Chains A and B, each alone.
Chain A
Amino acid sequence: MLFYVLKRIIYICCILVVMSMLVFAITQILPGNVARMILGQFATEESIRAIEEKLRLNDPLVVQYWRWASSLLSGDLGESLIMEHPIAPLLSTALKRSAILAFMSFFFVTVVGIGLGVVAALKQNRPTDHAVSIFTYLGISVPEFFWGIVVIIFLARYIDWLPSSGYEPLSAGFWNWLSHLILPVATLTFALIAHVSRLTRSCMLETLRSPYVTAARAKGLPERVVLVRHALRNALLPTITILAVDLGWLFGGVVVVETVFAFPGLGRLLMFSIERHDLPLMQVSLLLITAVYSLSNLVADLLYTYFNPKIRYERSAD
C-alpha cells in the first residue's frame, strides 16, 4: 500500500512538471510576441521594448522556462505586472478563501447528496423519488453560473439579508462572514448534487435487495441498524468515486461561481489576470489551480483504494 502511494506521488510530481511546461509553453511561447500580447495591439515600440527588458523575453525560451520554474521551486512566485505586488501573498489569501468555498460545498454535496439518494431509494417510484429526481436533474441541465444568477435574482431581491457578492473575513463577525458564503456555496452544491444522489439511490436500491440485508432483517435487527450499518456502508463505495470526481470539478466550477458572486478567491484572481494580460500572475494561478486539482484527485484515489482493498494496482484506463 505504501509503495502504491509513493508511486502515485512520484507520478503526480512528474505530471506537475510537465504541466508547468505546458502552461509555460502555451502562455509564453505560443502567442508569438508575448510583449505585444500583454500590452495589446496599440502598444508603442518603446513600451514593448520596456516590457521585453523587464521580463527578459529575449532570452532563449529554455532559459526563460528554467528561470521561471526554478524561482517557483525556491518559493519566489514573482510579481504581478498589473498590481506591482508580490504574487505569493495574493495567492495565499485567495487560495484560503476559495478553499473555504470548496470545502463547504463539498461537505454539503456529500451530506445532502447522499441523504437525498437514500431518501429516494427508500421511497422508490413514489412522488418523493420523482421530486428528488427532477430537482437534481435541473441542477445539471444548466450551467452553474445560471443558477447563481437565478439565486441572486430571486433570493437577493426578496431576502435582502443575504448579500450577493463580496466577502468579509471572520474578523468582521461570524454572521457577516457566513452570509457572504451562503449563496456561492448553495449554487456550487446544487450543481453537483445530481450525480451523487442518483448514484447513491441506485447503489442503495441494489444493496437493499441483497441477501445479507434480508438476513439482517430476518435476524430481527431494527430497520435503522439494517439501513445504516449494513446497506449504507456497502452502497457508499461507488459514491466515493463520484465524490472524488466532484471534488476536482469544484475547482473548475469555482472560477465561474466566484465571477458571478464577485467572490475574491483564486478563480476571480485567475480571471483578473487573464483579462488584464498579467502574465506572471496568470501562469502561477493556472499552475496552482491545476496542482490543487491533481492533488485532490490523488487524495480521492488513495481514499478509494484504502476503502476498497480489491484495487491496489494502477487505475485501469477504462
Chain B
Amino acid sequence: MRLAEHLIIAPIVVPLVTGAFLLLLDERRHTLKALVNVISTLVLAVLCCVLLGLADADGSGTRVSAYLLGNWPAPFGIVLVLDRLSALMLLMTSMLAVAALVFALARWHKGGPHFHTLFQFLLMGLNGAFLTGDLFNLFVFFEVLLAASYGLLLHGSGSNRVRTGLHYIAINLAASFLFLIGVSLIYGVTGTLNMADLGTKISAVPAESRALLDAGIAILGIAFLVKAGMWPLCFWLPGAYAAAVAPVAAIFAVLSKVGVYAVLRLSPLLLGAGETAGPADTWLFVGGLATIAFGAIGVLGSQAMARLAGFSVLVSSGTLLAAASMANASVTAGALFYMVSSTLTIAALFLLVELVERAQDPAANVLAVTMEAYGDDQEEIEEEVGVAIPGTLAMLGICFGLSGILLAGLPPLSGFVGKFAMLSAAVGSGGENSISVFAWIFLALVIVSGLFAMIAMMRAGIRTFWAPVEGVVPKVLVMEFLPVAFLLLLCAIMTVQAGPLMRYADATAQSLHNPAVYIQDVLSAPPVPALEGQTR
C-alpha cells in the first residue's frame, strides 16, 4: 500500500485529533482555539482535494480504493472506501466547513463553550459517514455527527434553541433506534455488515427470509429518510435549522445530504437486483415529490427568511430523492451536480439571512407580510426618486439576488445547469418518443418549486433592500461577507467549469449504478503483508 492510500483515513483522524486537543485548551483562549481550528479545517480542505484527485485518477475508469482498518481482509474487518461519490461529498463538506468557520470567527464562536471542538467532531462524523464501507460503522459515525450537531444546535442558547433542540434530539434518537433495528435485521438475515459483501449476499437470500430482509431494508431506509427530511418525516427540520446560529445552520445544510448520500450509496447495493427495487423506488419517488411540494409551499409561506432557507433544504432533498428513485445514471449525474450547487447556495443563504436580518426588527417582518395580505391601499405614495442604497446593503443585495437565481435554477448560474441536466435526462429516459408520466410530474414539480422559490426570494428581497431604509444599516464585517462571497463564487466556478464537473458527476453515477466494480474492489483489497519476523 502506497503512502497516498493512507490519506484515506486522514479526514477522520485530523478532526478527531484536533477536536480532542482543543478540549485541553482553556476556554478563554479564543484566539488560539480559533487558530488551531482554522488550520485543521484548511488542512482538511487540502486533503479532500487530494483525495478527489486520487478517486478520479484514471479518467473515465472506475476505481475504488479500500482501506482495511486493523488489516483484516474485507468482509471481516471494517473498511473505509474512497470512491468518486465519497470524495465529492468530502470536498463539498470541507468547502462548507471553511466558509462556516470563517463566518463564525467574526462573533459566533464566542457564543458558548466548546464551539471549536464540536465543530471538529461534526466534521469527523460527516467525513466518517461518507468514507465508511460498513453498515454498523455508518451508524457510529452518524451518532458522532449527531452528537456534535446537538451541541452545535444549542450553541448560543436561548429558549427557542433549547425547545427546537429538544425536538431535534428526540426525533434523531428515535431515528437512530430505527437505524439499529434495520441494521440488526439485515445482519440477522445475511450475516454480514460490510456493504460490498451485502451486495453479493443479498441476491442469495432464501425466499423464506426475504420478507425479514425487506423489512430490515425498509426500516433502515426510514432512518435515512428522517435525516434527509422526506415528507412526512421532515416537520422538525425547518424549525431546527432556523433556530440554529447562522454558521451552524450553514454547515447543517450538508447534514440532510448525509441521508441522501446513504440512500444513493445503499440503494444500488441493497435493492440492486431484487424484486424489492420496484416498490421501494416508487415509494421514494412519491415521497420525494411530496417533499418538493411541501417544501415549495413552505418556501412561499415563510415569513422569516431563515425558515425560507430551511424549507429550501426540503425542496433540495425532495428533488434529490425523487431523482435517486429513477435509478438512471444520467439523472443521478445531474442530481449530483444539483446537490453540490444547491447545498452551497443554501449554506450561503443561511449566512446571508443572518447578516440581512441583523438590522431588522423581527416584528416589522410580520407586519409587512400582514400588510401585503390585507392590501395596502392607504399607503401614501411618495415619489422618491433614487433612494440611496448604502454600500453594505448593496453588496448584500447582490449576493441575495445571486442566491435567489441559484435557488430558483435560472440561467446562467449552476443551479440552472444542475436542474437542466437532471430534467433533460429524466425526460429522455423513457425512450425515443415516449416520456413517462413520472418524468412529467417530476419536471412540473421541479419547475414550479423553482418558480415558488423565485417569488419568495423576490418578495423577501424587495421588502429588505428596496423598501426605504428606516433602521440602521447592518454592521457587517468583511470577515462575515467573505464566506458568503466564497460560496457564491464556488457556484460561479461550477457554472464556468460545468463541463469537467459533469464529466466527473457522470463517472460517479456510472459507478454507483454498476456496483459490481465497487464490490469487487472492496472485497479483493489486499491486506498489508506482515513485516519480517512477525506473525499475525
A binds B: no
